[in-house]
Amino acid sequence: MTAEIPLTAEPSDGTPSPEPKYKGLLAWPKEALEERFVELGGRPFHARVAREQLLGKGVLDYDSMTSLPAQLREALKIEVPLLAGSCTQRVEARDGTIKLLLDFPGDESGKGGGVETVHIPPLGAKRGQGATLCVSTQIGCPVACPFCASGLDGLARNLQPHEILEQFAQGRAQGELRRVVVMGIGEPLLNFENLTLALEQVHEIVGLGARKITVSSVGFPERLRQAARSQPRFQLAISLHTPDDDQHDELIPALRGTPIDEILAAGDDWFQVTGREVTYEYVLLGGTNDSAQHAERLVRRLGGRRATVNLIPYNSTRGLGYHRPAPEDVEIFATLLREGGIVATVRYSRGADGAAACGQLRMRA
């Protein structure tokens, strides 16, 4: 291990030093990092202090980690780059929502690119209680929903666990975190192993547990059944968007041919295995899936389930050909669901003046 990592940035013969073995502090396995800290004159526990400062407190430079010895900090600055990605844009909307565009370098496949992380402070009475952080799991997305900006260019690659974690560090640097929604760019169930590894650290170091983390997925049934039986736990939201199989094939192309009933059965299984209720998300697209008949068919589809439907009035993305329904149509849709015995909530996107939703900042860059 020691032999593979150069002790100095520049070897004495003047040739450029090789690429660091791990990109960013959070990419290092725990024990290797402790060893490296000792080699650089620190103590093993300093490695944990640095991880906690970065991930738990959002301290984004070694100079500010004043609980580490000054000499160690100087060595770390040269030998252990703190972050793999760089923040290339920061947009603060009028409502306080902060959107970050984080750029990650190419991996062994050569592919890298930008993802969005959004820091959403609570409004009104909850002000000051810590924000919700929205994180991405993939660079691009292979699901290709025709109304969503995230998948317009397909998938570049999965994010590595440390790249998912760096979003927490960058987000925490904007202010305290109270909740996490995995609703950024990408389909979490298609990068589940890396997400799980990252969430373990979030649990351990950031201190956010299952109840505070919501993962949103289009709901690949087999993967959902596996996820229900894995750790760590989280809240589940399934993007459904329509009660009709034909339209589902159109709106969520990666699930073409999978009957909605199979997805709902996997949702029921989730509830049975985890004891946690599923939320169904429904993007309201004006003139596409927002009619009274859609609401009635959705009630019949979900009939008898203990489920919440979260209605998301569409955040218009230029050029995609969908639009947001009028507020009164949103209300009618919600009322019809409630009359059918379903708990329905309406969620308007925050930070709309800063190209808020789902891959829009990235497309603008």
Would you call 239 helix, strand, or coil by DSSP? strand
C-alpha span between 213 and 202 (Å, rounded): 10
C-alpha span between 264 and 271 (Å, rounded): 11
Tokens of 13: 């013969």
Our finding on whether 285 is near ligand SAH (CB under 6 A) is: no
Choice from 187, 214, 224, 248 touching ligand SAH (CB under 6 A): 187
Considering the complex, state which of residue 196 and residue 349 has its C-beta at the smaller distance from ligand SAH. Answer: 349
Question: Least distance in Å: CB of 225 to ligand SAH?
Answer: 17
Considering the complex, state which of residue 42 and residue 221 has its C-beta at the smaller distance from ligand SAH. Answer: 221
C-alpha span between 312 and 283 (Å, rounded): 5
Our finding on whether 145 is near ligand SAH (CB under 6 A) is: yes
Question: Least distance in Å: CB of 79 to ligand SAH?
Answer: 37
Considering the complex, state which of residue 206 and residue 358 has its C-beta at the smaller distance from ligand SAH. Answer: 358
- 134 in active site: no
Q: Tell me which stretch binds ligand SAH (CB under 6 A): 58-66, 205-213, 214-222, 253-261.
A: 214-222
Shortest CA distance to 175 belongs to which of 212, 130, 241? 130
Our finding on whether 97 is near ligand SAH (CB under 6 A) is: no
Q: Which run of H or of E encompasses 117?
A: strand 113-120
- 116 in active site: yes
Choice from 117, 167, 217, 258 touching ligand SAH (CB under 6 A): 217
Our finding on whether 133 is near ligand SAH (CB under 6 A) is: no
Dihedral of CA atoms 12, 17, 20, 25 in degrees, nearest 10, equals 60
Burial degree of 329 (CB within 10 A; 0-12, 13-18, 19+): middle
3-state helix, strand, coil in the chain (%, to 5): 40, 20, 40
Considering the complex, state which of residue 36 and residue 324 has its C-beta at the smaller distance from ligand SAH. Answer: 324
Choice from 62, 280, 314, 333 touching ligand SAH (CB under 6 A): 314
Q: Tell me which stretch binds ligand SAH (CB under 6 A): 40-48, 76-84, 142-150, 195-203.
A: 142-150
Question: Least distance in Å: CB of 359 to ligand SAH?
Answer: 7
C-alpha span between 308 and 321 (Å, rounded): 28
Question: Least distance in Å: CB of 97 to ligand SAH?
Answer: 14
Q: In the 8-state DSSP scheme, what is residue 120?
A: E
Choice from 294, 358, 361, 362 touching ligand SAH (CB under 6 A): 358
Active-site annotation holder among 134, 141, 145, 358: 358
For 359: left if phi > 0, alpha if psi spans -120 to 50, otherwise beta; the answer is left
Active-site annotation holder among 116, 163, 166, 281: 116
Our finding on whether 65 is near ligand SAH (CB under 6 A) is: no
Q: What residue type is 296 in one-letter code? A: E
Q: What residue type is 221 in one-letter code? A: P
Considering the complex, state which of residue 34 and residue 187 has its C-beta at the smaller distance from ligand SAH. Answer: 187
Choice from 283, 298, 311, 361 touching ligand SAH (CB under 6 A): 283
List, as one string, the DSSP characters of 212-238: GEEEEE---HHHHHHHHTSSS--EEEE
Q: What residue type is 268 in one-letter code? A: D
Is residue 290 within 8 Å of residue 325, measured between CB atoms?
yes
Question: Least distance in Å: CB of 207 to ligand SAH?
Answer: 24
Our finding on whether 148 is near ligand SAH (CB under 6 A) is: yes
For 110: left if phi > 0, alpha if psi spans -120 to 50, otherwise beta; the answer is left
Which parts of this chain interact with ligand SAH (CB under 6 A)? Answer: 143, 145, 147-148, 183, 187, 216-218, 239, 281, 283, 312, 314-315, 317, 349, 357-358
Return the active site residues.
116, 358
